[in-house]
A and B are shown apart, each in its own frame.
Chain A
Amino acid sequence: MTVDVASSRPIAAEPEIVIDVEGLTKSFGGRPVVKNLSMQVRRGLIYGFLGPNGSGKTTTIRMLCGLLTPDSGHGTCLGYDILTQSAVIKRHVGYMTQKFSLYADLSIRENLEFVARVYNLADPRKAARDAIRRLGLENRAEQLAGELSGGWKQRLALGACILPEPQLLLLDEPTAGVDPKARRDFWDEIHALAHDGMTVLVSTHYMDEAERCHEIAYIAYGELLTQGTVDEVIANAHLATYTVTGPDLAGLAERLKSLDGVDMVAPFGMALHVSGRDSERLDAATNELREQGPQHWAPGEATLEDVFIDLMSRSKDNFG
């Protein structure tokens, strides 16, 4: 493997903006799945791609790596045109599919050697051996990939993706159905990769994972609703929030939902989050309840989840 030639050359040779697309649109059978999506991802960042199921995350990722052709829109991935240069893009992108898509009837070693050969690595056997060592799978190298547990399958899939040392990693819900410990290890690995200069776009619907990303984008019903750092996204939502504690929160929640000016009511453990897009109208609507008790009202910070649920209900209003 060639060692780190990139760093010896001027940084400008490789674009700072790794993904730069504009107006991507895709429909299946007349049903729009992604609508007019524009996004930019900078090199070396972990970019979280959030949104409910069926929101168009997978379709967008597939358009980025050339697996789907957009109906309209244009853009570049690693500086190459996504419409005309997908063959080149594929050499520099590692794509981890949502469903385990290595060969179940091939052993771990055979799967990795296959990937290494397809990417024309100089010494496929050595590359596979090194990857197995990195993954800590030395004892299981000859085990069939289909016999691995969910967590190990996911680690192996990631190992196969990064084997050819791609510039960009596209991970489609990589941690779905994986236990918390394996999830944490997985994120540590992703952070290490980003630290070494790899750009990672990862789709998820776990909120805690969103907060581990450098930047996030929220997509619902095929539309990108917001993007930026977690703090920016929360700030841009302009969501005034109260945290309510005390007795009979369920009853209170029911009453609050019907009030004009209250946009979102969501229980959080022993507390209730009450939010409104317009802080004055929220105050006016809840004034009476705040005064009379018996619950305790405290001004709080909107969480990312508050923001997303609010965004989703807003976009549902527009499309429903």
Chain B
Amino acid sequence: MSAGISDVDRRTRGFKASLMRLRAAFIKELIQLRRDRITFAMMIMIPLLQLTLFGYAINTSPRHLPTAVLVQDDSAFARSFLAAMRATDYFDISTSAASEEDLDRLILSGKVLFGVQIPAHFGRDLMRGERPALLVVADAADPTATGSAIAALQGLSAQVFSRELTGPAANLAPRPLPYELRVHQRYNPAGETRLNIVPGLMGLILTLTMLIFTALSVTREIERGTMESLLAMPIRPVEIMLGKIAPYLLVGGVQMTIILVAARLLFGIPVIGSLWLLVGLTLLFILANLSIGYTFSTIAQNQLQAMQMSFFFFLPNILLSGFMFPFKGMPGWAQAIGEILPLTHYLRIVRGIMLKGATFFDLQTDVLALAVFTMFAMGVAVARFRQTLD
């Protein structure tokens, strides 16, 4: 009845046999994935929800900030200054303060972010050439919230009174600079946050979902008791690993498609560079995260530990990759940590291709870094994979 020993050995040796075992693990994993309806639904919903939520919500250059005014001078200058502030769109003059104390309280309580005080006799003193002070108090506790508004304010004050300062007062009007400063805001001329945030979100969403999927894959088998049988079968660690990772590469591809389509339709973000280069490199990034998640899975003792490891890894990815804060603004050591995170390199790739039209040649260092990560993580995972129950 049973086949001879040497027959079986012949049948199970070689690359084709190995590929078949890999396929066994792949099919198995795919079926399990399909059966887990909640996980399956989450794979589609997570990218859509997060993209729309964060894409619309995050704004690093906020406008219409609540502003209180304390006007103690009823001159044309005061009115025209306030009108100019409104015209910047950064300030929403919502409250009128009764006194200096009232203005302080409004700022301290967080009801307004800006307080403008136009002192008594401002117009008269200005016409006399006495350079009266005009006080703007900003709640700079959050520099991102007030930074752009303050910058807009400084640009504004130079020309605001040009209409009033005519005739004999013309000599008080500011003179133009002896040179012209030209600033080209390349790739995002309007300085819109979503152009930066949405491609970044693609990296972030893929990191989180891919990491967690594979982080749970090995520990789940251990906890359900199926690992013992699996280990007793003639399937090799690398076959198990690739078979477990491959289905999620498909899932990652689906997520990528959803995000790219949503980025285009909902946020009007174009892909200036090559779409196929972006697709190829995104798949590489997905593979890098899957391998890291799988590595966690081989180290963790249970699913809880695997989740903790994933989140421990996820946090620096958000904070040090350049997703949230400017990468170049971090101290050298933090940039060094950032450089060993796949998301850092992917953000350069995705922003480079989508916004700047970067080519493979421009991105080769980052591509190499992602490839090295993937190989390293897979190497560790195969080495760490416990082939016995010892």
Binding site for B on A (CB under 8 A): 1-2, 4-6, 9, 13-14, 62, 65-69, 78-79, 87-88, 90-93, 95, 97, 99-106, 110, 113-115, 117-120, 122, 124, 164-167, 196-198
Q: Name 5 interchain pairs, CB-CB below 8 A, sorted by A.
A: A6-B3, A66-B388, A87-B234, A114-B27, A120-B12
Which of chain A's residues have a CB closer than 8 A to the CB of B229? Answer: 95, 97, 101-102
Also in contact, A197 and B1, with CB within 8 A (given A69-B390, A92-B8, A118-B233):
yes
Q: Which residue of B lies closest to A100 (CB)?
A: B225
**Residues on the B chain within 8 Å of A88, using CB:** 9
Q: Does B57 make an interface contact (CB < 8 A)? A: no
Which bucket holds chain B's interface residue count?
35 or more
Contact A114 B24 (CB under 8 A): yes
Residue B124 at the chain A interface, CB threshold 8 Å: no
B105 sits at the interface (CB 8 A): no
Question: Contacts A68-B388, A114-B24; is A5 near B12 (CB within 8 Å)?
Answer: no
Measured CA separation A302–B115 after assembly (Å):
101
Tell me if B131 is interfacial: C-beta within 8 Å of chain A.
no
Among the stretches B28-36, B165-173, B311-319, the one at the interface with A is B28-36
In the complex, chain B residues 1-49 whose Cβ is within 8 Å of any chain A Cβ: 1-9, 11-12, 17, 20-21, 23-25, 27-28, 31-32, 35-36
User: Which residues does chain B contribute within 8 Å of A9, judged by CB atoms?
Assistant: 4
- B residues 193-247 in Cβ contact with A at 8 Å: 224-229, 231-236
Do B4 and A101 have beta carbons less than 8 Å apart? no
Assembled-state Cα–Cα distance A166/B4 (Å): 10
- Which one, A5, A118, A122, contacts B235 given CB within 8 A? A118
Which B positions have Cβ atoms within 8 angstroms of A?
1-9, 11-12, 17, 20-21, 23-25, 27-28, 31-32, 35-36, 224-229, 231-236, 388-390
CB-CB under 8 A from B233, the residues of chain A are 90, 115, 118-119
Q: A105-B36, A117-B23, A117-B24 are in contact. Are A5 and B4 (CB under 8 A)?
A: yes
CA distance A67 to B224 in the complex (A): 17
- Tell me if B389 and A197 are in contact (CB < 8 A): no
Q: When chains A and B are docked, how far (Å) is the Cα of A117 from the Cα of B17? A: 9
Collect the chain B residues with CB atoms within 8 Å of residue A99's CB: 225, 228
Give the docked Cα–Cα distance between A91 and B229 (Å). 13
Specify which chain A residues have a CB less than 8 angstroms from the CB of B1 in the assembled complex.
Answer: 4, 165, 196-198
**4 extra interchain contacts, Cβ-Cβ under 8 A, other than A117-B20, A167-B2?**
A6-B5, A14-B5, A114-B27, A117-B21
- Report Cα–Cα, A97/B3, bound state, in Å: 23
Q: For residue A100, which residues in chain B have a CB less than 8 angstroms away from its CB?
A: 225
CA distance A6 to B20 in the complex (A): 25
**In the complex the two chains form, what is the Cα distance from A106 to B3 in whole Å?**
28
Interface pair A13/B4, CB less than 8 Å apart: yes
Taken together as a complex, chains A and B put the C-alpha atoms of A82 and B231 apart, in Å, by 15
Nearest CB of B to A293, in Å: 56
Q: For A87, what are the chain B residues with a Cβ–Cβ distance below 8 Å?
A: 234, 236
Q: Which of B4, B7, B17, B231 has the most CB of A within 10 A?
A: B4
**Pair B2/A106 contact, Cβ less than 8 Å:** no
Interface of A is mostly: loop
A79 to B225, CA, bound (A): 29
Given A90-B233, A90-B234, A118-B233 in contact, is the A110-B2 Cβ separation under 8 Å? no
Q: Is the CB of B225 within 8 A of A91?
A: no
- Contact (Cβ within 8 A) A91 B9: yes
Which residues of B lie under 8 Å from residue A104 when comparing CB positions? 224
B19 → chain A, closest Cβ, in Å? 10
Which residues of chain B come closer than 8 Å to A66, judged between CB atoms? 232, 388
- Measured in the bound complex, the distance between the Cα atoms of B228 and A67 in whole Å is 8
Enumerate chain B residues within 8 angstroms of A92, measured Cβ to Cβ: 5, 8
**A120, B178: Cα distance in complex, Å:** 82
CB–CB B388/A67 < 8 A:
yes
Contact A95 B225 (CB under 8 A): no
Q: Report which residue of B7, B21, B232, B389 has the largest number of chain A beta carbons within 10 angstroms of its beta carbon.
A: B232
A103 touches B32 (CB 8 A): yes
Whether A69 and B24, one on each chain, are in contact in the complex, defined by CB atoms closer than 8 angstroms, is no
Q: Which chain B residue has the least Cβ–Cβ distance from A195?
A: B1
CB pair A120–B17 under 8 Å, yes or no, is: yes
Asked if B232 and A93 sit within 8 Å, CB to CB, the answer is yes
Q: For the complex, what is the distance from the CA of A117 to the CA of B224, rounded to whole Å?
A: 21
Q: Which listed residue, B3, B24, B235, B389, touches A62 by the CB 8 Å rule?
A: B389
| A-B CB proximity, top 10 nearest | A117-B24, A101-B229, A196-B1, A95-B232, A6-B4, A5-B4, A165-B2, A91-B234, A90-B234, A120-B12
- C-alpha gap A103/B224 in the complex (Å): 9
| Residues of chain A with a CB closer than 8 A to B390's CB | 68-69
Residues in A with CB closer than 8 Å to B232 are 65-67, 90, 93, 95, 97
Complex Cα distance, B32 from A9, in Å, reads 42
How many Å lie between the Cα of A65 and that of B229 in the bound state? 11
Residues in A whose Cβ lies below 8 Å from that of B17: 120
Q: Are A196 and B4 in contact (CB under 8 A)?
A: no
A14–B2 CA distance with the chains assembled, in angstroms: 12
Contact of A6 among B2, B28, B231, B236 (CB under 8 A): B2
B20 lies within 8 A of A120 (CB): yes
A44 to B: closest C-beta gap in Å: 11
A138 to B251: give the CA distance in the assembly, Å. 33
Given A69-B388, A93-B232, A97-B229: A114 touches B28 (CB 8 Å cut-off): yes
Residues of chain A within 8 A (CB-CB) of B226 are: 101-103
Q: Which residues of B contact A95 (CB under 8 A)?
A: 229, 232
Q: A120 contacts B3, CB within 8 Å? A: no
Q: Are B2 and A166 in contact (CB under 8 A)?
A: yes
How far apart are the CA atoms of A9 and B225 in the complex, in Å?
Answer: 39
- What is the bound-complex CA distance between A91 and B389, given in angstroms? 18
Q: Which residue of A lies closest to B23 (CB)?
A: A117
B-side contacts of A164, CB under 8 Å: 8
CA distance A197 to B4 in the complex (A): 12
Q: Which residues of A contact B389 (CB under 8 A)?
A: 62, 67-68
Chain A residues near B35: list those with CB within 8 A: 105
Instruction: With a 10 A CB-CB cut-off, give which of A67, A110, A124 has the most chain B CB atoms.
Output: A67
| Given A6-B4, A67-B232, A101-B229: A110 in contact with B9 (beta carbons within 8 A) | no
